[in-house]
Structure 1
Amino acid sequence: MTSQPLDPASVPETRTSSAREFQIACEQAVAECRALGYAPTAWIAMMRGPGGATAAARRLLRSGDVQSGFERLIRMGRRDLTIEQAVLAERWTDLFTDDERAAALWRLEQGGAR
């Protein structure tokens, strides 16, 4: 089953503008991953679930585990495509708590991405 990129118009209007923009940015990152030969299927499914990419990022950060997709992106030298790096971006400060950003930083450090 091939996932199609999310149509920005399909992102529910009940989400904040930042959440819609974060969803679109995550979809763009997925497209870039695919161009590199990597399809992050678990992440795609998560971000299309309840709450979209913002809620999916929070679930990942709460899990405490470093995911195999994260490790793969780090090995590929593409830290910029990890959700952890996205959470730390100043652009998304209004979407994530200090604790969530601390968890993202911890995961990047654990993954050897400095």
Structure 2
Amino acid sequence: MSQQGAALQSYNNELVKCIEDLCTKREELNQQILQEEEEKNKLQNDIRILTEKLAKVNESLARKMATRNEFDRTIAETEAAYMKILESSQTLLTILKREAGTLNQVHESADTKDS
């Protein structure tokens, strides 16, 4: 019977050692889980902060692009109006030169008649 008791004691010791090993491995795994959860929370916070920054940059870009589009529109309208002014000036100059030429001819012809 003492042989059976010794075997039982040996089995018990191995069983306790296996349970202790399992508990140790579980605790190590639990520490890894806690570390990864902490890292996950940090990353989620970083994502939230970056998402907020991205939203602000997108809003700023949208405002600046709208303003740039207004500049483009104003510049295009101003350039078109300026081209019309140039065309009108050129037409006016052409008409003025023609009229001046006609007036000079009339004046010269009057001078030659008076002489």
- TM category (shorter chain) comes to under 0.3
TM-score (norm 1): 0.20
TM-score (norm 2): 0.20
